[in-house]
Amino acid sequence: MGRDASLRSATISVLVENEPGILARVVGLFSGRGYNIDSLTVAAVDEAGRQSRINIVTSGTEMVIEQIKAQLGRLVPVYRVADLGREGPHIAREMALIKVAGTGEKRAEALRLAEAFRARVIDATTESFIFELTGGTEKLDAFLALVRPLGLAEVSRTGIAAIARGTRTI
Amino acid sequence: MSGEQSGAEVLLQALKEQGVEVIFGYPGGAVLPIYDGLFRQNAIRHVLVRHEQGAVHAAEGYARSTGKVGVVLVTSGPGATNAVTGLVDALMDSIPVVCLTGQVPTHLIGNDAFQEADTTGITRPATKHNYLVKRPQDLARAVHEAFIVARSGRPGPVVIDLPKDIMIGSAPYSDPPEDGHPSYRPRTEPDPAAVRRAAALLKGAKRPIIYTGGGVINSGEEAAALLGTFVRLTGYPCTSTLMGLGAVPASDPRFLGMLGMHGTYEANLAMHGADVMLAIGARFDDRVTGRLDAFSPGSRKIHADIDPSSVNKNVPVEVPIIGDAGRVLAGLIEAWEADPKAHDRAALAEWWRTIDEWRAKECLAFTQDAAKGAVIKPQHAIRRLYEMTVALGREVFVTTEVGQHQMWAAQHFRFEQPRHWMTSGGLGTMGYGLPAAVGVQVAHPEGLVIDIAGEASILMNIQEMSTIAQYRLPVKVFILNNQYMGMVRQWQELLHGGRYAESYMAALPDFVKLAESFHATGLRAESVDQLDEVIRVMLETEGPVIADIAVDPKENCFPMIPSGAAHNDMILSAATEGRAAGITDPGLVLV
């Protein structure tokens, strides 16, 4: 059997018991075994705050991705591991707060681009805007590339939240 | 019970409920309330070790030789950090251990208090799971859960960090949770379809090999018995990892001996030439596979393991089976017998003829000069130890340290049943054997417990001789003394031009006097004519013994698959030069 050496990106959601140290456990697993984390988000997702969902975007060969899923599944406080891209269509979104500083034509151009990308202005001074932009990672990357020469001063991104389409649940 | 109990009392009650009979530990400030509780009861025995690393290895020896969970109690800070090596050892070898660590009171956590360490942080990657009990109401459940986690699925070590105020203050007791753990659900029952596929694949094999590991031992006596049944039923050749020795009796003609870096010629060539491989409770460790892209290149592989992360980790397999080794073997036997198709007896006979030719090489052969005054070959020392021990007819348990002596013990001491061979496989922890022997002897007071050691390894936890003296444990320490860190010396000879950097053990103690200072008997054999007499006296002595056996300092451990080489590139004897025999530059970086 040959090994597929090509890399793929995977969006993995992990439903965990919300106990102290669980995030350190997951992050430590990735660093200890040399896996990549491209993005990571975590928050409690049930009413009682007992369960949290961790969304991780990672990359590796098919064998490594399968190993990551198995290693996550082996952690005692883990209920379920879902490889969202593999188990069917899914939606992934992230949010960014983007500060663009500048005056004159560049400032006006930044505002026009924001409208085109449906970014909201959530703070403004005469020399700056803060935009709130939600969407897929590629959309955020595209907007950031456009505003970079216009005075991009600072960006804060959430990392992705992801969920399967339709009635399927984790 | 009432809520008036202290946390320490609740802890001890939960331990009793879990069937704990003995704890290996060392007191300190943070665990004084627990020791006070131990003092005031008689159900649980405490064995005082002399170093916390020793406590964990003793618990491992206890666990491996009984199948029960080994329990450790150490104090905060250095007590916990000293235990870390033992925890990782238990993690790598899948040994069920619950380690109770003291912690500074909850209001001081994070304050850099005296003897404070972030124990849960430090032990997170060193354990299967760990707990920090910050509320009295969580205590009993954490203890019960820890035992469930430690012994089920793929077993492993679990730490429970216990702040001192939680131990002193009152806490409610609760019985073990009926639903087990909320999220932890190890899979033990294999997929019947996968088992049937595996059985069919095995039945069609012309050159089969069964490769088994510690998972079979961990599954229990029944799994080992089923493995023996399956091997006899099929007539297929079987090999084992270091951890799996004893699952199939060494005397079974279908057993080819250990495989891997220092495995037998016949086992490794059978792995290399097989057309169907059944791996069960083994994890394709680098010590077993050698060069991965040349590992058993022509075989269709079945891998049964209780840990899904062990499957397809190093070697892609065609039929993965997730489940307990015993359940898988029971399923395989059933499927094999239900399948009316006969296996290819002619091909199997031909395969056995080939294997017998490999066997005829007698890869473990060595030459012992029998003349008076001749230097003792280490292999000969182990062979004589084995023969003279077997002749006694007693139940014999062997532990080892790590290095050449460990490999020679694995090659030349033959194990007929599981749970009688305790060695540090995954982590390769020098200093494992003596404290492990303490744990084995505590569990089996009537057993003959022998630590086969090297003179370098034994010094790593030599303080446990004091534990042995205190509890009058009749442990026999059999040191193959070659005055070198032998395996380091061997690699330096084969890979580093004979530049023996720091591997010579200068200023060794007089082991006879050392034994006597620990109230034990000290013996020494300096030449081959003295060997049998020393072994005889050692075995006849009722109390603990250190037998210091001076062996050939230049002897290397063969056969050997050089690192980075394939199974069919084995070096059979010293006659072959290391670098010329397949050690590649990529192989040099491997350990």
Which pTM does this prediction carry?
0.95
How confident is the model at residue B588, as a pLDDT?
73
3-state secondary structure at position B298: coil
CA distance to partner chain A, nearest, from residue B265 (Å): 26
A24–B121 C-beta distance less than 8 A: yes
A16-20, B331-335, B416-420, B511-515: which range is least confident on average? A16-20
* Residues of chain A neighbouring B120 (CB-CB closer than 8 A): 21
Q: Give the confidence band of B181 by pLDDT, cuts at 50, 70, 90.
A: confident
Say if the Cβ atoms of A21 and B124 lie within 8 Å. Answer: yes
Q: How far is A16 from chain B (nearest CA, A)?
A: 8
pLDDT confidence of residue A3: 59
Q: Residue B302 above 70 pLDDT?
A: yes
Q: Which residues contact A18 (CB under 8 A, 6 or more apart)?
A: A44, A49, A50, A51, A52
Minimum Cα–Cα distance from B312: chain A residue: A63
List of chain A residues whose C-beta atoms are within 8 Å of the C-beta of residue B135: none
ipTM of the complex: 0.92
Sequence letter at residue B551: V
pLDDT digits (tens, 9 = 90+) for B202-247: 999 999 999 999 999 999 999 999 999 999 999 999 999 999 999 9
Give the whole-angstrom CA distance, residue A73 versus residue B444: 37
**Which pLDDT does position A1 carry in this prediction?**
40
CB-nearest partner of B181 from A1, A20, A76: A76
Using CA atoms, how far apart are residues B249 and B376, in angstroms rounded to an integer?
28
Q: What is the pLDDT of residue B4?
A: 80
Band of pLDDT at residue B582, cut at 50, 70 and 90: low
- CB distance B96 to B151 below 8 Å: yes
**Chain B residues close to A48, C-beta within 8 Å:** none
Query: Residue B576 — pLDDT band, cuts 50, 70, 90?
Result: low
Closest CA to B117 of B83, B73, B145, B72: B83
CB atoms near residue A133 (< 10 Å): 21
% of chain B at pLDDT higher than 90: 92
Using alpha carbons, select from B81, B20, B85, B75 the residue that is nearest to residue B432.
B85
- B 310-339: CB under 8 A from A: 311-313, 316, 318
A3 in contact with chain B, both atoms CB, cutoff 8 A: yes
- Only one residue has tokens 């720091």, namely B502
Q: Which residue in chain A is spatially nearest to B145 when comparing CA positions? A: A76
Per-residue pLDDT for B8 more than 70? yes
β-pairing, A78-83 vs A152-157, is unpaired
Cα–Cα distances (Å) from B70 to B144, B295, B554, in that order, read: 14, 36, 38
pLDDT value at residue B568: 87
Is a pLDDT exceeding 50 seen at residue B483?
yes
Q: What does the pLDDT average to over A154-169?
A: 96
- With CA atoms as reference, the chain A residue closest to B133 would be A20
CB contact under 8 A, A77 and B184: yes
- Which residues of chain A make contact with B305, given a CB cutoff of 8 A? none
| Chain B contact probe: residue of A17, A51, A68, A76 with most B CBs at under 10 A | A76
Any CB–CB contact under 8 A between A49 and chain B?
Answer: no
What is the model's pLDDT at position A95? Answer: 98
What one-character-per-residue DSSP string does B513-541 give? HHHHHTTSEEEEE-SHHHHHHHHHHHHH-
Q: Which residues of B are catalytic?
A: 52, 114-115, 164, 487
B140 CA: distance to closest CA in chain A (Å): 16
Q: Directed axis angle between helix B139-151 and helix B7-17, to 10°? A: 30
Any CB–CB contact under 8 A between B292 and chain A?
no
A to B CB pairs, distance under 8 Å? 51
The partner residue sitting opposite B183, judged by closest CB among A17, A63, A67, is A17
Q: Is A21 on the interface with B (CB under 8 A)?
A: yes
More confident call, B120 vs B580: B120
- Please state, in angstroms and rounded to a whole number, the distance separating the CA atoms of residues B546 and B514: 9
B80's CB contacts (< 8 A; 6+ apart) are B52, B74, B101, B102, B117, B119, B122, B123, B159, B161
Task: Provide, rounded to the nearest whole percent, the portion of chain B with pLDDT above 70.
Answer: 97
Q: What does the pLDDT look like over A67-118, one tens digit per residue?
A: 999 999 999 999 999 999 898 999 999 999 999 999 999 999 999 999 999 9
Mean pLDDT for all residues in chain A: 95
Q: Average pLDDT of chain B? A: 95
Question: Does the pLDDT of residue B49 top 70, yes or no?
Answer: yes
| Contact assignment for A74 to B121 by CB distance below 8 Å | no
CB of B128 within 8 Å of any CB in chain A? yes
Tens of pLDDT, residues B67-96: 999 999 999 999 999 999 999 999 999 999
